[in-house]
Amino acid sequence: IVVVSPVNHFVFTPMLASAAVGTVEYRSMTEPIRVTNPNIDNFVEGRAIGVNVLEKTVQVQLTKLETATNAFTGMAANAGGRLDPDPVESMVVYGEDGSVLRDPSQGAGTVIDLSYDHLVCAVGTSSRLSLVKGAADYCFPLKTSQDSKRLRTAIGESLEYASRPDVQEYYYEDDEMQHQASEERRRRVHIAIVGGGPTGVELAGELMDFFQQVCGSPDGAYKHLRDDVSVTLIQSGTELVPAMDKELRARARQSLEEQGVRVIFNTRLQEVGQDYVVVKEKGSGAEETIPVGLTVWAAGNAPVPFVKELLSQLPPEATGSAGRVNVDDWLRCPTPTPETFGSILVLGDVACLNGRDKYKPEPEPLPQTAQVAGQQGSFAARLLNRGYEMDATPPRLPELSSGEAFSLLRTWLVARGLEEAQGFRFLSLGLLAYIGQEEALNQVMLGNVPLFNYSGKVAFALWRTVYLSKQASTRNQALIAFDWLRTEAFGRDITRL
């Protein structure tokens, strides 16, 4: 097994909002790839940038390790930040011999070719910042641990920026200047969140918890800003967390508004600037310019460049909705030749597989959630571990010759009637979302059967229990539990390192 990833760790993405305000630490919810699974033969820290489907090779741009390599030349202090990935070209240029061409002046790292028998594409998605003018330049996405770390630093800097003398009334004698200073101070600690799904709602709740602690009286470090901090949540639809039941959607809105979050519905983001956002109400077309200090993107997703390159090598029927890759019930994508069919499995956010729901007349693509990705990952691993012939439909166990050794696994599969692999079926277990003030929303299901809905303190206890159980290791569980206890006893750490 060879794993290719631009970072050397797995991260529990549902807790990125918690890490962005210091409720938990980054290292508590990350697990090194080399430690997670001892069966990984090799790990390559790099970014997949191209693929040759016919030759069964994938091109990988290795991550620069400047902090170490520059140390030998006395340049460690000037090494590039690990938060900033190397520039990645969106298109792969091939030479006459099929090799990948790169211009070293563009700053790309070394490119290598890796051959494969089966390629499992689980590259996820990126934030679709190109939808809105200025979003790519001024929005903070929340997709990776690096994004969460950037946002945490920015929030801390915003609080310090609003505490400077130049935005305090006592610094000026003129009434007009005092008013301008007050308005500018409020702008610097005004955070706008774009997107009212689970990520946006959880981040809003976590921010209000954070501000209540650090800006509260009598011992908050920024208690002088308690009347200035504010959060605005911008939602293009008419309700928050639309995937949940109506009563939970209403509870999410009620809870956030009671905490002081301004929630704007039925509104599209038109433009993002360094210190403002422009929103436009649907229907009336009324525009509003909102002064802000930070803008966080928790809305649409877009395919990563590697997916575009993969689709360029596949037949047209492989292109699914929103740039995703169409797959069949065994997560196989269409390929240009019968010989290569079954060699590529696509799963997670990038896979487009229609789910079956007896309550809906038309099949819909499965949601882009960690729950779907986790079940698809386990399913793909079972297919490969059991040795199914992936080019057959349905995949089946290979025929054994009389000279081949007895296989206990094969006997067990045959006894269970699994000579042919069953297709993937997503089993929804429900949805969870934190809404602040130690309250959460729980929609518990078993497939299409709703079991119960909870909101409030009981739901918060279940939310924490589930998130703790989903960690990659016992180590992570212990660290996160300790972080929660530390936060409860001593508050969140506001140190910027």
pLDDT class of 183 with cuts at 50, 70, 90: very high
Query: Does residue 99 surpass a pLDDT of 60?
Result: no
pLDDT at 57: 95
Long-range contact list for 465-472, CB < 8 A, 24+ apart? 466/432, 467/12, 467/14, 467/15, 467/432, 470/12, 470/14, 471/12, 471/29, 471/31, 472/10, 472/12, 472/31, 472/36
Considering Cα of 60, then 66, then 67, then 73, what sign does the dihedral take? positive
Query: Does residue 103 surpass a pLDDT of 80?
Result: no
Q: What average pLDDT does the segment 451-477 reach?
A: 93
Terminus-to-terminus CA distance in the chain, angstroms?
A: 36
How far is CA 438 from each of CA 181, 269, 361, 401, 435, rounded to the nearest angstrom?
34, 30, 38, 61, 8
How far is CA 97 from each of CA 94, 100, 312, rounded to the nearest angstrom?
8, 9, 19
pLDDT class of 359 with cuts at 50, 70, 90: low
Q: Model confidence over 19-76: pLDDT tens digits?
A: 999 999 999 999 999 888 777 878 999 999 999 999 999 999 998 876 555 544 443 4
pLDDT class of 88 with cuts at 50, 70, 90: very low
Query: Does residue 360 surpass a pLDDT of 90?
Result: no
Q: Token digits for 249?
A: 């959607």
pLDDT class of 364 with cuts at 50, 70, 90: confident
DSSP letter (8 states) at residue 364? E
Most confidently modeled range among 72-76, 115-119, 172-176, 471-475 = 115-119
Question: CA-CA distance, 223 to 226, in Å (whole number)?
Answer: 5
* CA 271 from centre of chain: 23
pLDDT at 85: 44
Question: CA-CA distance, 173 to 181, in Å (whole number)?
Answer: 11
Q: Token digits for 266?
A: 């039925």
Query: Does residue 344 surpass a pLDDT of 60?
Result: yes
CA 376, 381, 385: angle at the middle one, nearest 5?
155
Better-scored residue on pLDDT, 434 or 69: 434
Question: CA-CA distance, 47 to 170, in Å (whole number)?
Answer: 52
pLDDT at 77: 41
pLDDT at 449: 85
Q: Which among 138, 208, 209, 151 has a CA at the least distance from the CA of 19?
A: 151
Ranges of beta strands (E only) in 211-324 are 230-234, 262-264, 267-272, 276-281, 287-291, 294-297, 301-303
3-state secondary structure of 155: helix
Question: CA-CA distance, 206 to 434, in Å (whole number)?
Answer: 8
pLDDT at 93: 52
pLDDT at 355: 78
pLDDT at 361: 63
Q: Which amino acid is at 266?
A: N
Q: Model confidence over 367-419: pLDDT tens digits?
A: 888 899 999 999 999 999 999 999 999 999 988 766 666 678 888 998 899 99
Query: Does residue 442 surpass a pLDDT of 60?
Result: yes
